[in-house]
Amino acid sequence: MRIGVFGGTFDPIHIGHLVSAEEARVELNLERVVFVPAGLPPHKLDHVVSPVEHRLAMVELAIASNPHFVVSRIDIDRPGPCYTVDTIELLKDEWGDEVEIYFILGSDSLLEILTWHDPRRLVRLCYFAVVSRPGYQVDLDELDALLPGVASRVRMLDAPELAISSTDIQRRVREGLSIKYQVPEPVEGYIHRHKLYHLTLPTS
């Protein structure tokens, strides 16, 4: 059995994430996709990240209409920072060896894999379902020379490239621009209701 794992800060979750997850599910015949919001993302320690309960609530709203999508609190309930390799190992222990894990990520993230904690161990533990992001071209031969074995673990997906990012959505909200259709409608409502990314403080 194959299960997709989609880690992210999801601040907020947007259409680029959802299209990627659905494409991975269909192309790779995944039994389900597990969204894993980061508690305290190790690579974003220098950023202000929205409270995890807000990010989790938005993921729940965004995936509610897809019976194949679920969310896990594994990186929220564990003291952080949580490294992907440890999360995947914990999930592998829970699901057993017969499950193949496909870690879903954008090409920008794959290009940074060498900066992650213990990438060699990660390559041994899972496959990578990679979605191209505009402006981030991956040269698999080059990457494989630096991280042997990674190329055989990568599945490049045929998802449409969407130049949508959480940072840009935050900026748009701050500047009073529309985010309609960039995030699912319930997520848009949640952002405005709780004044996330506005210049005033968010509500709890």
Residues forming contacts to ligand ATP in the complex (CB under 6 A) are 8-10, 16-17, 20, 105-106, 108-109, 131, 133, 162, 164-167
CB 48 within 8 A of CB 7: no
* Distance in Å, CB of 16 to ligand ATP, minimum: 2
Instruction: Give me the sign of the Cα torsion angle 51, 61, 37, 171.
Output: negative
What residues have CB less than 8 Å from 79, skipping those under 6 apart?
A: none
The smaller minimum CB distance to ligand ATP, of residues 22 and 118, is found at 22
The smaller minimum CB distance to ligand ATP, of residues 47 and 124, is found at 47
Q: Smallest Cα–Cα separation from 165: which of 189, 134, 130?
A: 134
Specify the residue for token string 């389900």: 32
Identify the DSSP state of 44. Answer: G
The token duo for 124 is 């041994």
* Distance in Å, CB of 20 to ligand ATP, minimum: 5
Q: From CA 71, how far away is CA 166, in angstroms rounded? A: 18
The smaller minimum CB distance to ligand ATP, of residues 162 and 196, is found at 162
* Distance in Å, CB of 98 to ligand ATP, minimum: 26
* Distance in Å, CB of 9 to ligand ATP, minimum: 4
* Distance in Å, CB of 96 to ligand ATP, minimum: 25
Q: Peptide bond before 67: cis, by omega within 30 degrees of 0?
A: no
The smaller minimum CB distance to ligand ATP, of residues 34 and 162, is found at 162
The smaller minimum CB distance to ligand ATP, of residues 96 and 135, is found at 135
